[in-house]
Amino acid sequence: AQSVSQHNHHVILSEAASLELGCNYSYGGTVNLFWYVQYPGQHLQLLLKYFSGDPLVKGIKGFEAEFIKSKFSFNLRKPSVQWSDTAEYFCAVSSGSARQLTFGSGTQLTVLP
Amino acid sequence: KAGVTQTPRYLIKTRGQQVTLSCSPISGHRSVSWYQQTPGQGLQFLFEYFSETQRNKGNFPGRFSGRQFSNSRSEMNVSTLELGDSALYLCASSLPGQQNIQYFGAGTRLSVL
């Protein structure tokens, strides 16, 4: 069975700081990788996705993520965070053609103004 | 285009009762998945329906069931409610052939007293 680990449960940053959230998965086959964001009181929204090709993917709101196959990692980055980035971030993986998403436990990001 | 709509938004039930939650997917989406979100267990996959057929099921007891109608709307039922069933239940829909990009609704918050 596949699993997803997010190492940081709560990250606190000041505005303009750089962000990197870790995500590791365990699955040996072909995977699809996702980052979702859940802003306070809102529904889960897709931030970015990786299916194949260029391992560096860009998403909405200036976020990007890098897929490193050898490390089974898909870390999320943003060069300069804003107060509005305060939210919970979830890494998720699906394998092959399966539509079932396996989520990490989430990282709560708090950005101080 | 309207997003995924879940009703009701909030529910309060007592132990032993049963509950039915409803999900209307984005127009044209034929796959509907259900997830349970709790502070302790995070986001866990319940089941997925496509063309009125359950295609995949997570590791939940038989008290959790679902169905999908010909218009792709889906319902989820939980019988003999337990305190531990208190959670946010999320529905997600996706287009066939669009790999696994899932779009989530706002969820139904179920409280079991």
Residue A17 DSSP one-character state? -
Q: B29-57, pLDDT tens digit by residue?
A: 999 999 999 998 999 999 999 999 998 89
Q: A53-86, pLDDT tens digit by residue?
A: 999 999 999 999 999 999 999 999 999 999 999 9
Contact A100 B43 (CB under 8 A): no
d(CA B28, CA B94): 9
Which tokens is A87 given?
A: 């939210």
Q: Are A48 and A65 in contact (CB under 8 A)?
A: yes
Using omega within 30 degrees of 0 as the cis cutoff, is the peptide bond preceding A40 cis?
no
Q: Are B30 and B23 in contact (CB under 8 A)?
A: no
- Say if residue A33's pLDDT is above 70: yes
Q: DSSP assignment of B23-88, as one string?
A: EEPPTT--EEEEEEEETTTEEEEEEEEETTEEEEE-S--TTEEEEE-TTS-EEEEE-S--GGG-EE
Q: Determine which of A95, A101, A103, A108 to mutate to test the interface with B (most B C-beta atoms within 10 Å).
A: A101
Contact A99 B107 (CB under 8 A): no
Query: What is residue A50's three-state secondary structure?
Result: strand
Query: What is residue A107's three-state secondary structure?
Result: strand
Q: Which residues pair with A18 in a beta bridge?
A: none
- CB atoms near residue A14 (< 10 Å): 10
Give whole-number Cα distances, B71 to A93, A113, B29, in Å. 28, 46, 10
d(CA A50, CA A73): 12
In this prediction, residue A7 carries a pLDDT of: 87
Closest by Cβ to B101, choosing from A49, A98, A102: A49
- Say if residue B88's pLDDT is above 70: yes
